[in-house]
């Protein structure tokens, strides 16, 4: 979104038009809205802004739920925005640490600031981009004087009177729509600056979950977070926002429920053992935090193979930190023989999972030519140089 479009949208007429639009979830929906608005004589800038926002609100619902229909976005801002349920947990940590005022440096469209303000924390929100800062101000306007939004650089923010900071460095090239990921050394603000600030002020630094672990300072708590099966972020906590004795944490969320593993460091893996009655796939946050061993011990499980994140056990145990599968049998790994075996078993719906093998699941699915009414999961992996094709059934996780 360009400033001309935002200026056209931020008028009583523009906002009324936006709120009147039906969901723009398809190309046909967009074409109908464009046609209707153009016939009504609205300016190209306003039509573009209304259509763009109607489409972004649909895309934002998985992150913001019903609140998405009252917010504004840029495409890039929505991509990096924190899910509202995750932002609420961030805010809860600040509240529990007794933080009264937080500086949200790099606030984007205001996702995390919404979480802070909802818990009564005062927020100074800083955003470098002019359009995004204006959108954040709109999204946070319902909180009145509790939230102050300013355009500017994080490095130049006046932190007098601030108890702690939340940093979400820009991890993509600048822009409001098409952007590309940049290397950690090109984040804005720079990681070195962020880490230095975290060394003398309570801080939470949101980063991508795949950050090189060698870049993580030794004196912070590193918490990996997954939401509804996707590993969404790594947060580094310092000062009184970090928990005593915790250096590694894996938080997994499903809907409104959450479970967490914590540890003073990386957990030692359990030994490799032979394939048992169950295979368990650890949650992505558990894998990133290197807490697979903790989960394995709780499941009475061992590693299926060295350096491959599958566990196996005979005990009928599962947990919120894994997806568990009951093993049916081991099938031939050769695609032709595998296709024949699946047809013989009447399997027409197949979930394909893989680790440690160079296989394209989509191409394999086409080659298998599945038919039949039965369903199953196929787990493809290797033990040493041997490929393994494990036919299994998904086990529903037990509540934590």
Banded model confidence at residue 30, pLDDT cuts 50, 70, 90: confident
Q: Say whether pTM exceeds 0.85.
A: yes
pLDDT (average), residues 324-328: 97
For the segment 236-249, the average pLDDT, to the nearest whole number, is 97
Q: Is the pLDDT of residue 175 over 60?
A: no
Q: pLDDT category, 174, cuts 50, 70, 90?
A: low
Give residue 391's Cα distance to chain centre: 29
pLDDT in tens, 80-96: 899 999 999 999 999 99
Q: What is the pLDDT of residues 213-227, one digit of tens each?
A: 999 999 999 999 999
Separation CA 322–CA 299 (nearest Å): 10
pLDDT over 70 at 173, yes or no = no
Could you tell me how far CA 310 lies from the centroid of its own chain? 22
pLDDT in the model for residue 178: 55
**In the predicted structure, residue 400 carries a pLDDT above the cut 70:** no
Residues 194, 211: Cα–Cα separation, whole Å: 15
How sure is the predictor about 203, in pLDDT bands with cuts at 50, 70 and 90?
very high
Report yes or no: 9 and 72 within 8 Å, Cβ to Cβ.
yes
Helix H or strand E segment including 152: none
The model's confidence at residue 4, banded by pLDDT at 50, 70 and 90, is: confident
Radius of gyration, CA atoms only, the chain = 24
pLDDT at 399 over 60: no
Q: What's the average model confidence in pLDDT over 159-165?
A: 97
Confidence band of 191 (pLDDT split at 50, 70, 90) = very high
Percent over 70 (pLDDT), the chain: 96
Residue 376 has pLDDT above 90, yes or no: yes
Can you say how many angstroms the Cα of residue 26 is from the centroid of all Cα atoms in its chain?
Answer: 24
SS3 387: strand
For Cα atoms 356, 358, 359, give the angle at the middle one, nearest 5 degrees: 115
352 forms beta bridges with 378
């Amino acid at each position: 979104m360009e400033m001309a479009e935002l200026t056209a949208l931020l008028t009583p007429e523009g906002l009324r038009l936006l709120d009147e639009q039906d969901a723009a979830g398809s190309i046909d929906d967009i074409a109908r809205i464009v046609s209707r608005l153009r016939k009504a004589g609205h300016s190209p800038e306003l039509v573009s802004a209304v259509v763009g926002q109607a489409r972004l609100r649909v895309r934002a619902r998985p992150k913001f739920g019903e609140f998405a229909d009252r917010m504004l976005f840029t495409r890039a801002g929505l991509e990096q925005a924190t899910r509202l349920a995750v932002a609420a947990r961030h805010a809860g940590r600040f509240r529990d640490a007794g933080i009264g005022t937080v500086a949200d440096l790099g606030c984007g469209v205001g996702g995390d600031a919404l979480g802070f303000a909802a818990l009564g924390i005062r927020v100074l929100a800083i955003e470098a981009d002019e359009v995004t800062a204006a959108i954040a101000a709109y999204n946070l306007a319902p909180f009145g004087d509790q939230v102050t939004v300013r355009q500017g650089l994080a490095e130049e923010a006046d932190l007098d009177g601030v108890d702690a900071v939340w940093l979400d460095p820009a991890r993509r090239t600048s822009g409001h729509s098409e952007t590309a990921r940049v290397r950690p050394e090109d984040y804005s603000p720079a990681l070195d600056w962020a880490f230095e600030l975290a060394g003398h002020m309570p801080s939470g630094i949101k980063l991508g979950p795949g950050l090189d672990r060698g870049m993580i300072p030794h004196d912070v708590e590193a918490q990996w977070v997954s939401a509804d099966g996707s590993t969404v972020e790594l947060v580094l906590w310092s000062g009184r926002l970090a928990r005593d004795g915790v250096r590694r944490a894996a938080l997994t969320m499903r809907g409104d429920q959450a479970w967490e593993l914590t540890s003073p460091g990386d957990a030692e893996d359990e030994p490799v053992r032979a394939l048992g009655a169950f295979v368990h796939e650890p949650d992505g946050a558990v894998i990133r935090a290197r807490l697979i061993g903790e989960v394995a011990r709780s499941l009475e499980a061992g590693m299926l193979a060295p350096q491959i994140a599958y566990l196996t056990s005979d005990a009928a145990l599962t947990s919120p930190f894994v997806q568990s599968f009951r093993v049916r049998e081991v099938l031939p790994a050769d695609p032709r023989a595998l296709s024949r075996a699946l047809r013989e078993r009447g399997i027409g719906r197949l979930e394909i999972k893989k680790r440690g093998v160079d296989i394209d699941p989509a191409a394999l699915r086409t080659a298998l030519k599945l038919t039949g009414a039965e369903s199953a999961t196929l787990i493809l992996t290797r033990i040493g140089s041997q490929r393994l094709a494990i036919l299994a059934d998904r086990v529903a996780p037990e509540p934590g």
